[in-house]
C-alpha cells in the first residue's frame, strides 16, 4: 500500500514524531535459497512480507484516531523531514543582517527552514516598510488560523481588544499608507511567522529561524519599546540577553523592563488570554502604563 501524503500531512506527522515508512519489497530475501540455508541464529525473525505490512501499518491512524508508533527500525524507514528536501535548510537566508524591508518579506514568504514552513498555508509577513517608523512594537506568539488567513498579526476579537488597549494609552497600530506620528504608532509582529501544523510546542529550529527574522525586523523598525505578549514571544526576546528569565512564568516577568538588542522590553499577557481571564486586565493595564513611560524616554541617538 502506497502512502500518498501531501506536504501538510507530512509536516503533521513530523510534529508528532511519527516515522513515515516507504513501501518496501525485498524479493531477494523471500525467494533466495541462501536465506533458508542460514543457521538458525542468523535467520531473520520476521519475514520481509510481514515487516513490510508492519512498517506500513505503523504510520496509519488507528480506528480511534491515534497513530501507532513504529515497532521496529529498518534502513528503509524515513521521516517526513528527511523525505522533504525543502526542510533540509537549517537556517534562513544568508546575509539577513543586510536585508531591507522588501528582501526580509520575500525571505519570510519563501522560507521552509522548519516543519512549520512546510505545513503552512501562508506566512504572516513582517509589516515593515522602508522609511516607516514606530516607537512601539508589539510582539505576539504565533499565528492562529484567523491570522494565517488574514496574513496579519492580532486580528479578530483579540485584535480588537489589543487596539482598545493601545488606544487607552494614546497609541494605535500602524496602517500602511496612512500618515501617522511615530510616537503614537505601534508595529505589530509575531515571534513565529507560520502557524504550526499541530497545536504543539514549536521545535527549537523554528524558534531560532524566526528569531533571526524578528531581530532584523526590530533593527529596521528601531522601536523605543517592545511589548512582549505571550510565552513564545518572551522566549525569543529574552533567550539571548536574559536566559535566566526563561525558567520563570510569564506573570513573574511583568512589572520590570528587560532588554533585547538594547531595546527595552515589557512583558505582559496576550489579548487572547485576557479574553478568557478578565481579572488580569488590571495587571495588563499596569504593563501598558510602564511601556508608555519607557516609550517617552529618550534613547541613544535622539
Residue 123 carries which DSSP code? -
The Cα 210–Cα 143 span in angstroms is 13
Q: What is the pLDDT of residue 148?
A: 85
Cβ atoms of 237 and 265 within 8 Å: the answer is yes
Crossing angle of the two packed helices 281-295 and 156-168, in degrees rounded to 10: 50
Question: Any idea which residue has 537556517 for its cell?
Answer: 91
pLDDT at position 4 is: 65
Burial status of residue 120 (CB atoms within 10 A of its CB: 0-12, 13-18, 19 or more): buried
Q: What residues does 157 pair with on adjacent strands?
A: none
pLDDT by residue for the chain (302 residues), tens only, comes to 445 666 666 665 666 556 555 554 444 444 434 434 434 444 444 444 444 444 444 443 443 444 444 443 333 332 333 333 333 344 555 788 889 888 888 888 888 777 776 667 778 887 666 567 889 999 999 888 888 888 889 999 999 999 999 999 999 988 766 667 888 999 999 988 888 766 666 767 667 778 888 999 999 889 999 999 998 898 889 877 777 767 788 888 999 999 998 999 999 999 999 999 999 999 999 999 999 999 998 765 55
Beta-strand relationship, 136-140 and 225-229: parallel
CA 75 to chain centre: 31
Phi and psi at residue 24, in whole multiples of 5°?
A: -130, 140
Q: Quick check: 151 and 124 in contact, CB under 8 A?
A: yes
Rg (CA), the chain: 25
Closest among 265, 263, 234 to 249, alpha carbons compared: 234
Q: Evaluate whether 244 touches 210 at the Cβ level (below 8 Å).
A: no
Helices (H), 18-65: 27-31, 33-36, 48-58
- What is the per-residue pLDDT for 235? 85
- The residue ranges of DSSP E strands in the chain, in sequence order, are 20-21, 77-78, 136-140, 172-173, 185-190, 225-229, 257-260, 263-268
Cα–Cα distance measured from residue 125 to residue 189, given in angstroms and rounded to the nearest whole number: 8
8 three-state secondary structure: helix
What is the C-alpha separation between 299 and 278, in angstroms, rounded?
A: 34
Domains of the chain with CATH codes: 87-295 (3.40.470.10)
Q: How far is CA 192 from the centre of its chain?
A: 4
C-alpha 52/C-alpha 1 separation (Å) is 9
Amino acid at each position: 500500500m502506497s502512502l500518498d501524503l501531501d506536504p501538510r500531512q507530512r509536516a503533521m506527522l513530523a510534529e508528532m514524531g511519527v516515522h513515515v515508512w516507504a513501501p518496501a519489497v525485498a524479493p531477494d530475501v523471500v525467494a533466495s535459497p541462501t536465506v533458508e540455508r542460514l543457521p538458525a541464529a542468523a535467520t531473520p525473525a520476521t519475514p520481509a512480507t510481514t515487516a513490510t505490512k508492519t512498517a506500513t501499518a505503523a504510520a496509519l491512524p488507528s480506528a480511534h484516531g491515534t497513530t501507532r508508533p513504529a515497532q521496529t527500525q529498518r534502513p528503509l524507514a524515513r521521516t517526513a523531514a528527511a523525505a522533504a528536501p525543502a526542510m533540509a535548510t537549517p537556517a534562513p537566508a544568508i546575509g539577513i543582517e543586510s536585508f531591507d524591508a522588501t528582501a526580509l518579506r520575500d525571505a519570510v514568504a519563501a522560507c521552509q527552514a522548519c516543519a512549520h514552513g512546510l505545513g503552512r498555508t501562508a506566512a504572516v509577513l513582517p509589516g515593515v516598510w522602508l522609511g516607516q517608523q514606530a516607537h512601539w512594537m508589539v510582539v505576539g506568539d504565533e499565528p492562529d488560523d484567523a491570522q494565517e488567513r488574514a496574513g496579519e498579526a492580532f486580528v479578530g476579537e483579540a485584535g480588537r481588544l489589543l487596539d482598545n488597549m493601545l488606544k487607552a494609552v494614546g497609541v494605535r497600530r500602524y496602517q500602511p499608507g496612512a500618515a501617522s506620528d511615530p510616537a503614537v504608532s505601534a508595529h505589530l509582529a509575531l515571534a513565529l511567522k507560520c502557524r504550526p501544523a499541530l497545536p504543539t510546542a514549536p521545535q527549537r529550529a523554528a524558534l531560532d529561524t524566526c528569531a533571526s527574522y524578528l531581530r532584523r525586523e526590530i533593527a529596521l523598525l528601531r522601536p523605543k519599546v517592545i511589548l512582549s505578549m505571550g510565552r513564545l514571544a518572551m522566549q525569543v526576546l529574552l533567550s539571548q540577553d536574559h536566559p535566566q528569565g526563561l525558567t520563570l512564568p510569564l506573570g513573574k516577568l511583568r512589572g520590570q523592563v528587560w532588554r533585547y538588542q538594547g531595546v527595552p522590553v515589557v512583558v505582559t499577557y496576550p489579548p487572547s488570554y485576557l479574553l478568557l481571564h478578565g481579572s488580569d486586565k488590571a495587571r495588563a493595564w499596569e504593563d501598558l502604563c510602564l511601556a508608555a513611560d519607557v516609550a517617552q524616554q529618550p534613547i541613544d541617538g535622539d
